[in-house]
Structure 1
C-alpha cells in the first residue's frame, strides 16, 4: 500500500519548478487525491509531466544515463530545462498508510565534467514521532553516504545519528540509484518498502494494434505498457481463479456498448483468447477482430479490476479513440476503483471535458504556460468561482470548456 501525497519537479524540460500537493516546502497544502487529472492546452507540459514518472521508472531499471536516452528523450541536455545549470530534481512526498509518517524521497541528477549524467544526491527522510524533526535514513552525495538498517533511526541535518544502526557506504556506480542496490537487502527495510512502491508503478500507453497480436501461451499477472499481452493476462486470471475471472468478465461486459457476452476460450496448447458476442451478430469475434474502442475500454476496465493492483497507475489521454459519451462512465469507474484508502492511486492526463465532468475540483490540476515559456500548475480549486459553481451542480468539464478556468 501507499501513495504520493505531493511532488515537486525542477528543471525537467518545461517543468522548471512545479509543486503538486503536499511537499517538504509546502506543508500547508492539501495532499493529492487518489485520482489526479492533469489538464491544459497542448504544449503546456502534460506529456512531460507524464514522462517524469516514466523517467524515474527508467532510472530504476536502467540507470540515469540510459534513462536520459530512452524513449527518444535525447540525452541529459535535451531533458534539462533550457538556460538552467542546476540539477534535475524530484521530490516525492509519500505515505504508506494513514497511520504511518510521511517519507520524503529526493533525487538530484546532474552532469559530471565529461558531460555524463549521474546521481548527484539521493535521500530518504522520515519525521520522527514525538520529536517533530526529519531524520535521513538514507543519504548519498556523489555516491558516498550512509543508510540505516531496520525500521528506526536516522541522522539529523548535521549527520549525527539518532537511534538505529548507521552504515557508511560508497557505491561503485554513481549512474545507478542507490535505493535499487540497498532496497534489495532485507536489513534496509524502509528502503526496500519504498523501492517496492516505485516498482509497482504502471505507466499505460495502450495500443489496440499491439493488443491484437497473438502471444505465446505464458500467463502473465499484469498488463504491460502497450497492452500487447491482453490475452496472457486473461489466461493468468482464468488460471488463478476461474470463477472470479468469469465474474469480472460479466461485470465488464455490462460496461462495453454493444457487447452481450465475453468468454475466455482455452486452446489445446494452453493459449487463451477472449471471445466477444456483439449485438446483432450470430457468431462471436475473437479479441484481435474487435474495434479499437472496444479493446481500449476492455483493457482499461481489466486494469481497474486487478486482484492485486499496482499502487500507482498513470494513463495518458484515455479519450483517444473512444466515443465521448463513454468517458464520463470510464471516469466514474476509475473513481470507484481507487477508493479512498491507500491501495491504489491514479494519474490521468486528458483533453476531454466529458472525462473531467465526472471529477471534483480537488481532483483536477491545470497546466498553463508562463511568460518565460515554462509551465505553471494550479489546482482547479485555486480558480475563482470554481468550487462555488461545482457545489451548485455545474459540471467541472463544462466550466473548463466554457473558459471559467484553465
Structure 2
C-alpha cells in the first residue's frame, strides 16, 4: 500500500536527492596515468596510460608502490605533494616547502631539461580524457617559474587532442566554455579563443583561469586537483585538544580528528553512530566507540577497551589504534577527496592488521571515478591483499635513477600468481631483485 508524502517532505526529499547527485557530479574523476621527468631520482617514469603512452593500461583505483629504501617511493609521494603545493603557494614557494631545499635540490642532477609533469585525467567513463602538462624551470634571474602549461582534450574517441589552454612563460590563450573548443596542432580553431597574459609567472595558470566561470573545463580540472589529500598522519597531533569547530575533512596530520567526528555527528547522528559501529569492529581490542558532546559544543571520542570498565579518550589511545581509526574514518568520508596519497600506512601497526586494512581500502575505492588511492609501502602483508595489477615496483637503474613497472608486467609474477602465490610473498622472497626481465 502506498502512502502520500506531505508536500514539504517531498520537496525536502527531492532537494536532498538533487544535492546528493550534484555532490557526486563534482566528485568524479581520476588519474589514468602520470609522467614525471627530472624530479629527483624520478628522471623519467610513467605510471599507467598517458597521451604519449596510449597502449598502456590505465591506473586502477588503488595504486600501491613498493621497492627498496632509497628507490624513490618518498620522492614519488612528494611529487604529488609538490603539485598540490604549487596550486596553493606557487612554484617558487613550493620548491622550498616541506624541506625540499629549493629548485636546485629538486631537479635531477645533471638534467638539462625542466621538471615536467604530465597528468592524464578522466572525469568519468563517458567523458574524453584531458592531458595536463606542466614544466617548471629557472628564469633568467635564477628563480623557479612556470615555463609551460598546457591542457588538451581529445575530441573524438580516437581523434587527436585539441589544446584548450596553452601558456608559455605566462602568455598564451584559453578557450571558454565546456564544449569541444580548442586549437588543433595544425592551427585550426574551434570555439571562442581568448588571449591570456598572466601577471605572475610563478603562479599556475590553471589557478588564475580556473577561478573564472567562463573557463568551465579549467575550473573542473582545478577542483579535481584541489581535492587531493596527502596524508601525513601523526598520532601525537591527533591527541591535541582542538577548538570546538566542526570540520568536514581530516587535515594532513590528523590533528582535527575530533573536529571531524563533531562534524559527522552534527550532519547525521544516526549515520555517524553506524560508521563508528562499523569501525569499532575493525579495531582490535575495542568493544565500543561513543561520541561525547561537552557543554561548549566540543566533541570527543570515547573508546571502550576490553577488560576496562571506564572508557579512554582519544588522547590516551595507542598510536596504532589512532592510526587505524583515522584511516577508516578517511574511508568513510561522505563527500570523499578524489585522490588520497598515504605513505607507509604500516608504520606503527601490527602486521596482522595490514591485510584487512588493504582489503578495506581496495573495496572502498571500488571501480568507479569517485575515489582513487595511492600508497607506498614496505609491508608484504599489505601487498598480499592486492592483485598484481594494483602493485607497481620501483627499482634503481645503473645511473642511479628510478624505474617503475607494474607487477603484472613481469612474466614470473603472472606465472606465480596463477599458482596462487601472492605478490607480497614474491617481494619478500626477493624475486623482484633477482630478475632482470
With normalisation by structure 1, the TM-score equals 0.99
Is 2:331 aligned against 1:308?
A: no
1:194-205 aligned within 5 A = 194-205=221-232
How many residues are paired up? 405
Counterpart-to-counterpart distance in 1, 2:186 and 2:343: 42
Q: 1:130 to 1:358 in 2, by over 3 A?
A: closer
Q: Which residue of 2 aligns with 1:349?
A: 376
Residues 235-289 of structure 1, C-alpha deviations (whole Å, 9 max, x = no match): 0000000000000000000000000000000000000000000000011000110
Counterpart-to-counterpart distance in 1, 2:105 and 2:186: 35
Residues 350-392 of structure 1, C-alpha deviations (whole Å, 9 max, x = no match): 0000000000001000111111011011110122221222132
Q: Which residue of 2 aligns with 1:156?
A: 184
Q: Which residue of 2 aligns with 1:106?
A: 133
Counterpart-to-counterpart distance in 1, 2:66 and 2:107: 23
Superposed displacement of residue 396, structure 1: 1.2
Q: Which residue of 2 aligns with 1:135?
A: 162
Counterpart-to-counterpart distance in 2, 1:220 and 1:389: 46
Secondary structure of the residue that 1:27 maps to in structure 2? coil
Residues 72-113 of structure 1, C-alpha deviations (whole Å, 9 max, x = no match): 100001000000121000000000000000000000001011
Q: Is the 8 A contact 2:128 2:157 kept in 1?
A: no
Q: 1:372 aligns with which of 393, 399, 410?
A: 399
Residues 10-37 of structure 1, C-alpha deviations (whole Å, 9 max, x = no match): 0000000000100111100001010000
1:149-298 aligned within 5 A = 149-152=176-179, 153-161=181-189, 163-298=190-325
Superposed displacement of residue 131, structure 1: 7.0
With normalisation by structure 2, the TM-score equals 0.92
Residues 278-301 of structure 1, C-alpha deviations (whole Å, 9 max, x = no match): 000011000110000000000000
Q: Which residue of 2 aligns with 1:120?
A: 147
Counterpart-to-counterpart distance in 2, 1:266 and 1:387: 53
Superposed displacement of residue 394, structure 1: 1.2
Secondary structure of the residue that 2:411 maps to in structure 1? coil
Secondary structure of the residue that 2:361 maps to in structure 1? helix
CA RMSD of aligned residues (A): 0.8
Is 2:97 aligned against 1:73?
A: no
Structure 2: 5+ residue stretches without partners: 1-27
Counterpart-to-counterpart distance in 1, 2:140 and 2:226: 31
Superposed displacement of residue 130, structure 1: 6.4
Is 2:61 aligned against 1:52?
A: no
Secondary structure of the residue that 1:315 maps to in structure 2? strand
